[in-house]
Amino acid sequence: MMIGDMIVSSLEFPEKISLVIFTGGCILRCPYCHNPELIDNGKPVELPEVFNKIESSMDFIDSVVITGGEALIQYDDVKKILEYSKKQGLETKLDTNGCFPDKLSELIDLLDYVALDIKAPFNKYEKIIGSDIGDKVKECMEICTDNGIYLECRTTYVPFLMDPEDITEIAKSITTDIYTIQQFRDKAVLDKRLQGTPVPSRDELKEIGEAVKPFLKKVRIKTAEFGNEFID
């Protein structure tokens, strides 16, 4: 399979230490992509090497996170990694952009946690990221909620592409265990026109989070300066 890296992290799965596997390849071209080097790239790695990495990390991990890129492009390999991880007694998390509801449905029994990117209001995907996949993303959300999977929906707030009302529209249309509003950073972006776009401040994100809190179970903001902060 094609991967970008494998690292151990305490950040990607709350209250867990995870082996995080960054997969290569994505069918989207989001202007603000923060991992543009993974869109068409990655290094070839045989699955036994991934399994060995999991096994050698067992003394200090309790979960495996598969992220990207878009992991479900490499469905067969991802399925085998999830199966192997579950056999080792590890919890599993998948990060996905929502392009592949059929594939997600087939893997759902192997997952404990899904982080689903909600990149725009469902009816504004074409306008904001250039790909009209809103209905597929909504279907992925429904697959998770219908199967009782812990679901995190997350949106990167990019002032150049959206406004606070878009976040409110998203909040009113999703069902999720937690909604994360992420700070846009202009240091690594696919569309160079976004370089120099003002980075939303913590206070700005907090104000947006407070505005949408009445519609959701849990809301948090994520900034480079302060990490994850829950909105009370």
Return the SS3 of 214: helix
Q: Are 2 and 44 in contact (CB under 8 A)?
A: yes
In 3D space, the residue among 105, 46, 94, 45 whose CA is nearest the CA of residue 70 turns out to be 94
Q: Give pLDDT tens digits for 193-223.
A: 777 788 999 999 999 999 999 999 999 999 9
Instruction: Tell me the backbone φ, ψ of residue 31, rounded to 5 degrees.
Output: -55, -35
Domain boundaries, the chain: 2-230
Tell me what the pLDDT averaged over the chain comes to.
94
Asked if the model's pLDDT at residue 187 lies above 80, the reply is: no
pLDDT at 98: 98
Pairing of strands 63-67, 178-183: unpaired
Top-level CATH class of 2-230?
Answer: alpha beta
pTM: 0.95
Measured CA to CA in angstroms, residue 49 lies from 1, 69, 135, 139 at distances of 10, 20, 36, 33
Return the SS3 of 135: helix
pLDDT at 190: 74
Please state the rounded mean pLDDT for residues 178-188. 88
Asked if the model's pLDDT at residue 36 lies above 80, the reply is: no
pLDDT at 41: 79
